Structure 1
Amino acid sequence: MIDKKSFPGQETAESTGFLLWQVTSIWQRNVAAVLRGHELTQVQFALLASLMWLEDKEEWVTQAMLARHAKLDEMMTSQVLRSLEGRKLLERHPHPHDTRAKHLVLTSSGREKAKAALPDVERVDLEYFSILADSRPNFNQSLQDLIDKGGCHG
């Protein structure tokens, strides 16, 4: 017989990472369900919504800036942007000051698609995380602290 004590994290409640993975998986399923009606994947939505936000803050938005903002791999970001460009939801132009960079611009249909999906995604967030009630700001701050800490590879 296997001794459960020899496997740290055997109990789900003892493994923060596994709990976070489970919560994320459930939340992603819920978000994916509402985004299907908008013909978007989660990554596509995250990039469109992030680009919409960044366009309001920055004069020029590059692929690298967008990938950093969304915490996504630059290669995957480039591939998804190519798909969104093919759907005429955004345009990639040469950057006026950096020949290596692409300047990203949402098209009017891309902006409308992001704006249409945003309330549905926010509703999923409010419903799913409503269990946190008054502790939600503290939970969000803890998540932000983890994001700010960044990766740690042993």
Structure 2
Amino acid sequence: MTQQPFKNDADASTGFLLWQVHAIWQRQITAALRPHELTQVQFALLASLLWLMQREENITQIRLARHAKLDVMMTSQVLRALQARGLLERREHPTDTRAKVVGLTEAGIAKAMAVIPVVEQIDAQFFSIVGEQQTQLNGFLNLLIQQEG
């Protein structure tokens, strides 16, 4: 008998469980964003940019990508699409000619402000099952994020 490369129980595979939870959650978020004509990545970048704009100045594409934990090249492509829709603007960095500074337009701020509560409602419903352990879950998720550096 050859040894199987998998655990005997798929429910014991943390990575597979995380994948499944993410897929279920993502379907719900995608459905909620559809009427707003946003993808999940577009929403993540709009919301992240709004959050950063409230705290920092001269936010670069790289800073935004790192904050959202997204690939820099994909971030640039998505930002171009959002710029074409009039939701954000990109301009030269005041001190670093190699960098682009991004910011939401008034339309981008309005879109983000309209959609954030929709996503937060999905999150509240989806994660309500963990109840009082949500703070602990968030702590574990933050530990996993922090190990990336």
| Length-normalised TM-score, structure 1 | 0.93
Residue 76 of structure 1: which of 57, 74, 77 is its match? 74
Partners in 2 of 1:88 and 1:115 — Cα distance? 15
Give ranges in structure 2 of 5+ residues lacking alignment.
Answer: none
Q: Per-residue CA shift, 1:48-102, capped at 9, x if unaligned?
A: 0000000111111000000000000000000000000000000000000100000
Partner secondary structure for residue 150 of structure 1: coil
Alignment of 1:88-99 (within 5 A): 88-99=86-97
| Length-normalised TM-score, structure 2 | 0.96
- Aligned equivalent of 1:53: 51
- Aligned equivalent of 1:123: 121
Query: Is 1:106 the equivalent of 2:104?
Result: yes
1:108 Cα deviation from its structure 2 partner: 0.4
- Aligned equivalent of 1:143: 141
- Aligned equivalent of 1:41: 39
1:105 Cα deviation from its structure 2 partner: 1.2
Runs of 4 or more, structure 1, over 3 Å off, are: none
- Aligned equivalent of 1:85: 83
Give ranges in structure 1 of 5+ residues lacking alignment.
Answer: none
Query: Is 1:7 the equivalent of 2:31?
Result: no
Identity percentage over the alignment?
Answer: 56
1:13 Cα deviation from its structure 2 partner: 1.2
What amino acid is aligned across from residue 49 of structure 1 in structure 2?
A: A
Deviates more, 1:9-18 or 1:138-147: 9-18
Partners in 1 of 2:102 and 2:111 — Cα distance? 16
Partners in 2 of 1:38 and 1:138 — Cα distance? 32
1:150 Cα deviation from its structure 2 partner: 1.3
Q: Per-residue CA shift, 1:113-148, capped at 9, x if unaligned?
A: 011000010000000000000000000000000000
